């Protein structure tokens, strides 16, 4: 299955470089001429921003749940209810407090994939509040580096540092990570597994990084939403938080029940090293 980048701005140290995996060029150098055509095809896919990734859907995770060690359902059983998960990337930010107020008022749980540098560091009280109010606090890496383009040691650091920071603040170590731009590969899966992390992608994106128009953000979300959906938004952008109440109300009117990502998978559990996407 192919996934395009979510186009969130790339930090300066990663901008403008080809989107090939770390090991692609090393492998190509060692290939015999007869194998170069295959390598070129793989490189073309990488440069286009797409990758072939095996994923597990929420319904499959629920169906494959191991008896005897089920996850908690929380307040809803998504095997029967029409569930959808609201997720926010790249916070906390100056907009997060207002978003938390909205979620509390609407009684909606969300999953926050947080950045470390300039975010967790800057807004530690908001991280604590997210956890205290029942939201799932997860990682979006430390510095939003494209994981497939950096050495393994740096990947480990990008995954470990936010987990350490979140655990210090909340008492709970994250079990979920969203790789920046959704860029991942088999090497990232292995390192994520080492760190006890499952990767979570998405099925709905408003591309809120391209517009401040809250009505357009709402429209895009509603057009793409379906049962077991995972909605990707960014509370760092000015149009997103104002769009949240309308998105929530409209989806509730359609019969959706909002859950965190772990609740969406229950009674299954997110397994480290796996990638989840509807």
pLDDT digits (tens, 9 = 90+) for 135-144: 999 999 999 9
The CA–CA distances, whole Å, from 156 to 11, 67, 193 equal 18, 32, 11
CA separation for the pair 256, 77 (Å, rounded): 12
In this prediction, residue 53 carries a pLDDT of: 84
CA separation for the pair 241, 257 (Å, rounded): 19
Q: Is 85 helix (H, G, I), strand (E, B) or coil?
A: strand
- Could you tell me if 235 and 241 are in contact, meaning their C-beta atoms sit under 8 angstroms apart? yes
pLDDT of 273 over the 80 cut:
yes
Domain ranges of the chain: 58-276
pLDDT of 26 over the 70 cut:
no
Chain Cα centroid distance, residue 214: 21
Sign of CA dihedral 240, 108, 112, 177: negative
The backbone region for 196, taken as left when phi is positive above 0, alpha when psi lies in -120 to 50, beta otherwise, is: left
In this prediction, residue 259 carries a pLDDT of: 98
In this prediction, residue 69 carries a pLDDT of: 54
The backbone region for 184, taken as left when phi is positive above 0, alpha when psi lies in -120 to 50, beta otherwise, is: beta
CA separation for the pair 160, 140 (Å, rounded): 11
CA separation for the pair 17, 189 (Å, rounded): 22
Beta bridge partners of 230: 85
In this prediction, residue 164 carries a pLDDT of: 98
Domain 58-276 has CATH 1.10.8.290: no
pLDDT tens for 214-242 read 999 999 999 999 999 999 999 999 999 99
pLDDT of 158 over the 80 cut:
yes
pLDDT tens for 50-88 read 457 899 999 999 999 855 455 555 678 999 999 999 999
**Residues labelled as active-site residues:** 89, 234
pLDDT tens for 175-206 read 999 999 999 999 999 999 999 999 999 999 99
- Among 103, 179, 160, CA closest to 136: 103
- Could you tell me if 276 and 200 are in contact, meaning their C-beta atoms sit under 8 angstroms apart? yes
pLDDT of 256 over the 60 cut:
yes
Tokens (6 digits) for 35: 């194998």
């Amino acid at each position: 299955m192919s996934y395009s980048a979510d186009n969130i701005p790339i930090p300066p140290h990663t901008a403008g470089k080809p989107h090939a995996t770390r090991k692609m060029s090393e492998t190509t150098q060692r290939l015999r001429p007869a194998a170069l055509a295959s390598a070129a095809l793989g490189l073309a896919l990488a440069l286009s921003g797409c990758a072939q990734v095996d994923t597990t859907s929420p319904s499959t995770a629920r169906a494959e749940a191991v008896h005897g060690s089920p996850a908690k359902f929380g307040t809803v059983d998504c095997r029967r209810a029409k569930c959808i998960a609201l997720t926010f990337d790249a916070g906390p930010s100056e907009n997060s407090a207002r978003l938390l107020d909205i979620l509390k008022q609407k009684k909606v749980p969300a999953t926050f994939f947080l950045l470390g540098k300039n975010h967790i560091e800057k807004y530690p009280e908001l991280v604590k509040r997210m956890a205290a109010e029942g939201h799932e606090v997860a990682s979006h890496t430390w510095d939003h580096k494209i994981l497939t383009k950096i050495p393994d040691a740096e990947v480990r650091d990008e995954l470990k540092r936010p987990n350490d920071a979140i655990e210090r603040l909340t008492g709970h170590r994250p079990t979920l990570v969203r790789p920046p731009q959704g860029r991942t590969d088999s090497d990232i899966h292995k390192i994520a597994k080492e760190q006890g992390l499952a990767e979570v992608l998405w099925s709905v994106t408003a591309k809120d990084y391209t517009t401040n128009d809250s009505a357009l953000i709402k429209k895009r979300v509603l057009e793409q939403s379906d049962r077991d959906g995972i909605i990707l938004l960014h509370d760092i952008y000015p149009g997103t938080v104002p769009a949240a109440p309308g998105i929530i109300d409209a989806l509730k009117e359609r019969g959706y029940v909002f859950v965190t990502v772990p609740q969406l998978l229950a009674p299954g559990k997110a397994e480290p090293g796996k990638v989840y996407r509807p």
